[in-house]
Amino acid sequence: MWLLVALLWVVEVSGEEELLDRIVAVVDQEIILLSEVKQRARLELFQKGKYAVDDSTLRALEERILDDMIADRIILVKAQNDSTLEVTPQEVDRALDEQLSRIRREAGSQQAYEQLLRKEGLTEKDLRKRFRKEVRDYLLKQKFMAKLAMKIRVSDDEVRKFYRAYRDSFPVLPERADIAYILIKPKVGERRLNQVRSKAVRLLRQVRNGANFAALAEAYSEDPGSRRRGGDLGYLERGATKWPKFERVAFSLKPGGADTVRTPLGYHVILVEDREKDRVHVRHILLGLSPSSEDTARALTLLDSLRERALSGEDFEELVERYSEDPAGRRSGWRPVEQLPKVITDAISVLTPGQISRPFKGLAGCYLVKLYDRKPGGIPDLERDWDIIKEWAFERKLQREFEDLISEEKKRLYVEVRWDGHITKPLR
């Protein structure tokens, strides 16, 4: 996510007036630029929804960010000097692939992603080249921090001392559940598919025979946003939607032309009212492909058979891996009950630890849930919540180790701050 945010922020601020840049800190041979600090400050304010702050608040934020960046550069220098750490080109490529895939998903479609890059005068090759060093440095720092964390051990006595010292400041824990679930999305059967396709063809025939498209859209479309406007989607540019097939058909039609197309939303009857060089004025009628009661019944029957297999001794987690259409269904430790979908909280409310629910329907599909265990919410209890308190104690100890490391390296490495154009905080 870090690279995605960085890229989108580069795009967001690329049109702004360029800042007269200068070095504000040096860590060994690594430099920190004023523009980097100010960009991070703007990004942090943007993420918090703060678009205007007074000068003193902004200065304090920038100084805190600069301190964080100095610590970050120190870790990078330490990692670069650690001969046991290596980041391979293949690891960098995989990380770039993952981040660029996220950017494509955020853009909505491949076409929208390419349009975003073209707008900024970039290609994917440019993007990979621009971020390659940043990705490598990030992975190297991650490996260094993982190595540091591996050295940390928290004894039972340390957990108890941590609990006694900080229990008055612990947050109230929510009710938690240890669960796994299988989600099956009912597949639209051939019968339902033929029904919707036939209806789309009948409506297309009426449109081509001169029927009023707006009236048909108001009567039949299942798109609530455009139905009230007679199916009017306005002018669409290439890459503006998530559905390339929809765009291909729309841009293939002349003004007055109509056709049908299927997308994940269902069948569309499309009418092009006007066409310019890079955009078309489109109306559509959406006929959704919601599963029939027969389709839902098939999914529930499958889940019922999986339940019987689990009750007969098959590992429920293996069944989740094999059949669930939602990766979040995997068993992943304690989850706050308040953050679970309501259909799941309702299902586990009547289960005791170790039980498996009956199959049931939800908005996303059909579910089968196993409750492994649950814990009540409230003030953390040392015995009941030992694992989470130990995790907090570990994080505290790791943070102290990190702070001690940064403090020692500031004495050893060449570190200086040039915040106002001169050295205001010599740290060597």
141-153 pLDDT, tens digit each: 999 999 999 999 9
Q: Does 319 reside within a domain?
A: yes
One-letter amino acid of 294: E
Q: Is the pLDDT of residue 170 over 90?
A: yes
- Per the prediction, the chain carries an average pLDDT of 88
From its phi and psi, is residue 290 left (phi > 0), alpha (psi between -120 and 50) or beta? beta
* Together in a domain, 180 and 145: no
- What integer is the mean pLDDT of 267-273? 96
Q: Is the pLDDT of residue 1 over 80?
A: no
* Together in a domain, 230 and 112: no
pTM given for the model? 0.65
What confidence category does residue 428 fall into, taking pLDDT thresholds of 50, 70 and 90? very low
Contacts of residue 88, Cβ cutoff 8 Å, sequence gap at least 6: none
* Together in a domain, 180 and 212: no
100-114 pLDDT, tens digit each: 888 877 777 666 777
Number of domains in the chain: 3
- What integer is the mean pLDDT of 85-90? 94
- What integer is the mean pLDDT of 32-42? 86
* Together in a domain, 326 and 282: no
Rounded percentage of the chain residues whose pLDDT exceeds 70 = 92
One-letter amino acid of 315: D
* Together in a domain, 19 and 141: yes
Q: Is the pLDDT of residue 236 over 90?
A: no
pLDDT of residue 426: 42
* Together in a domain, 20 and 147: yes
What confidence category does residue 237 fall into, taking pLDDT thresholds of 50, 70 and 90? confident
Q: In the listed set 238, 272, 288, which residue is the last one of a domain according to the structure? A: 288
Which structure tokens are listed for 268?
């569309």
- What integer is the mean pLDDT of 395-403? 95
Per the structure, the complete domain to which residue 343 belongs is given by 176-184+312-375
Q: Angle 145-392-69 (CA atoms, 0-180°, nearest 5)?
A: 40
Which structure tokens are listed for 172?
């109230």
Q: Is the pLDDT of residue 73 over 50?
A: yes
Contacts for 353-360: CB closer than 8 Å, 24+ residues apart:
356/307, 356/310, 356/311, 356/316, 358/304, 358/307, 359/300, 359/303, 359/304, 359/307
Q: How many CB atoms lie within 10 A of CB 163?
A: 19
Main-chain phi, psi angles of 92, to 5 degrees: -65, -45
Residue 268's nearest CA partner among 194, 192, 201 is: 201
Main-chain phi, psi angles of 414, to 5 degrees: -80, 110
12-30 pLDDT, tens digit each: 444 444 456 788 888 888 8
CATH at 365: 3.10.50.40
Give CA 116 to chain center in angstroms: 19
